[in-house]
Amino acid sequence: MCGGCCRRQRGPDGAPVGGGGRRGCCGTVLAVVALAAAAAVAFLESTAGGVSYAGEGWMHECAKWDAEGGRFLASTFFGAGVAEVRTGGEEAAEERVVLADPDAAGRVALGFAVDAPRRRLLLVYSDRMPRYGYAALGAYELGSWRRLFLTRLDVPGESTFPDDVAADEDGNAYVTDAMRNKIWKVSPDGTLLGIIKNATFTQRQGMVHNFVGLNGIMYHPNGYLLVVHTSGGDLFKVDPKTETVHVVKVQGSLKRGDGLELLSTTRLVVAGTPSRLVESSDDWETATVTGQYVGPIHRIGSSATVKDGDVYINHIFGFGLGKKKTHVLAKAVFSPLAAAR
């Protein structure tokens, strides 16, 4: 009804006209709509067992559980850093910024990996959109947050969009380029070792199928990388030593798949809208989407992490009217998919 009420305040050309006699009506209706929207949001967000926390900034791309530190860590997008979230039972938590590297100020912090054996965090930095020039990987000690290295990955004059990172058992890091469908390989001490490129990464030609390319990446303990191509929904198995690339034959759709996390050697979580559970019984030659979890879709699920055997989905967008926004790590309960039964 607000439309009809408000429209009367506009002239025939659509421009607002004076005499706000109906402003009260409109304001009331808007307030009711806002309340209804808030109620809908509250309903959508009744994610039992999840974590909600207050933090500065609208956007958090990635969150991971740091088991040794007993905390979640989240990348703070425009803050170009990392915040920790400690949850004490049911009460709402608040983030605390633990890392803001001055040399990355003005950039964007995206995917990261907790390299637990080396007690460090690997963090991907990109340019502020719509610029796509800068790409870097930073490594920081998990306790002191001392920087170990900050390595530039981009080539002058070439656009790029670094997105996510995984570490192998030796501490080599693999960073995806969602714009150019390639993977940078960085040594444990921060030396750029090379780039894994393969035509297989581009299963379909054209911008519409490659708007967001190689994105979420995970190192499997059997010695290979699993990488998802977001726009195409393709899952790849990459041998980092031989640089051979195979398409995992997936039954079910992984379109819009974003961050990855292994729940076990045979079960992979693909965060996104929706988030999906994928299982393989042949070492990731083939796989089946066996479950999905929708969660608060207006917040956009973007990364997954596992804490005590439970999956938590990070969402990009925080909401709230004050300076602090409320962010949600939703505990994912996957509904079985009919096709997989």
Between residues 244 and 281, which has the closer beta carbon with respect to ligand NAG?
244
182 lines the binding site for ligand NAG (CB under 6 A): no
Q: Is the peptide bond before 156 cis (omega within 30 degrees of 0)?
A: no
Cβ atoms within 10 Å, residue 68: 10
C-alpha dist (Å) from residue 262 to 28, 162, 202, 259:
49, 21, 24, 11
243 lines the binding site for ligand NAG (CB under 6 A): yes
C-alpha dist (Å) from residue 32 to 1, 6, 22, 36, 174:
11, 14, 16, 6, 49
245 lines the binding site for ligand NAG (CB under 6 A): yes
**Smallest separation (angstroms) from ligand NAG to the CB of 247:** 8
Using the contact rule CB under 6 A, the part of the chain among 105-113, 123-131, 210-218, 240-248 near ligand NAG is 240-248
**Smallest separation (angstroms) from ligand NAG to the CB of 36:** 52
Using the contact rule CB under 6 A, the part of the chain among 163-171, 204-212, 244-252, 284-292 near ligand NAG is 244-252
**Smallest separation (angstroms) from ligand NAG to the CB of 199:** 7
Kindly determine how many residues on this chain lie close enough to bind ligand NAG according to the rule CB under 6 A.
Answer: 6
246 lines the binding site for ligand NAG (CB under 6 A): yes
Q: Under a CB-based contact definition with an 8 Å cutoff, are residues 99 and 60 in contact?
A: no
255 lines the binding site for ligand NAG (CB under 6 A): no
φ and ψ at 72, to 5 degrees?
Answer: -90, 150
200 lines the binding site for ligand NAG (CB under 6 A): yes
**Residues of this chain that bind ligand NAG (CB under 6 A):** 198, 200, 243-246
